[in-house]
Amino acid sequence: MTLSEATELLAYLSRFDNRRPSAAASEAWSRALADVPLDADTKAAVDAFYGSIPLGGEGYQADRSRWMQPHHLRYHRQQIRKARADQAPPYTGVGGDVRQELVAARQHAAAAASGRLPPAPALPPPGDQPRFETTTRGAALVRAAARVPSRRPELNAPCPYCRAKAGAPCRNRRGPLGTVHDVRLRAAQDLADGRIPPSADQLAAEMEQRRAASAAALTTRKDPA
């Protein structure tokens, strides 16, 4: 926040608490909120602070304590942006290296918080899905992510375990997962290396062979020749 923005902000605050802005106050607010711009979210944070019920009680004494400070503004602004970001679609990756993914994730978070992303698709009514899928925000995000084509490299291959298609998240009996099955990670690596990943039937046959080998080894140990 620049010095001129801090001066404008203090003038806006004075409409609520009748404070007397000064050059020293403008400089202090500018330093305390150096990373916070004077935008619509900042003024909305002021409105939220003075429009909420005082935590210290009601009456004249409580109202006298309603004097907004920089940390109040920072908190309410973060809450406004967080609420907006919670309604945005989840980040699904760009298919780049770690540095590119980090940059893209930060850009996605900033765009979501500032309202530059459309809201996530509406969730189905509770009666259309198992109850546990609508009890947490995490489950809601997983279901929303299932509707968004992903560019995460580990989803390039279909999952041999749950048979999820390429680009779609892994699933279990409850619905989409936020994680990936281990065999799918190996399949994605095979695909990246130019090898044909195993199919679900091949994986099942391999597991059956391992079980048979383990059973034979146990039998040999119990009945030595």
- Nearest Cα residue to 84 out of 61, 113, 108, 64: 113
Contacts 24+ apart (CB under 8 A), 15-24: 16/46, 16/50, 16/68, 17/50, 17/66, 17/67, 17/68, 19/67
- How distant, in Å, are the alpha carbons of 46, 115, 181 from that of 23? 20, 33, 60
For residue 6, name the pLDDT band (cuts at 50, 70, 90). very high
Q: How far apart are the C-alpha atoms of 27 and 32, rounded to whole Å?
A: 9
Cβ–Cβ < 8 Å for 67, 17: yes
* Residue 168 near residue 210 (C-beta atoms within 8 A): no
Residue-wise pLDDT tens digits, 133-185: 444 444 544 454 444 445 567 777 888 888 888 888 888 888 887 778 888 88
**In this structure, what DSSP letter does residue 36 have?**
-
Any idea which residue has 């109850």 for tokens? 131
Q: Is 135 helix (H, G, I), strand (E, B) or coil?
A: coil
What is the reported pLDDT for 131? Answer: 41
pTM listed for this prediction: 0.47
Of 134, 108, 107, nearest in space to 122 by CA = 134
Q: Which of 123, 35, 41, 31 is nearest to 85 (CA)?
A: 41
Distance between terminal CA atoms of the chain? 83
**Integer Cα distance of 210 and 204 in angstroms:** 10
pLDDT digits (tens, 9 = 90+) for 135-145: 444 454 445 44
Per-residue pLDDT reduced to its tens digit, 62-88: 444 578 999 999 999 999 988 888 777
Taking the CA atoms of 49, 50, 51 and 53 in sequence, report the sign of the dihedral they define: positive
Q: How far apart are CA 111 and CA 81, in angstroms?
A: 10
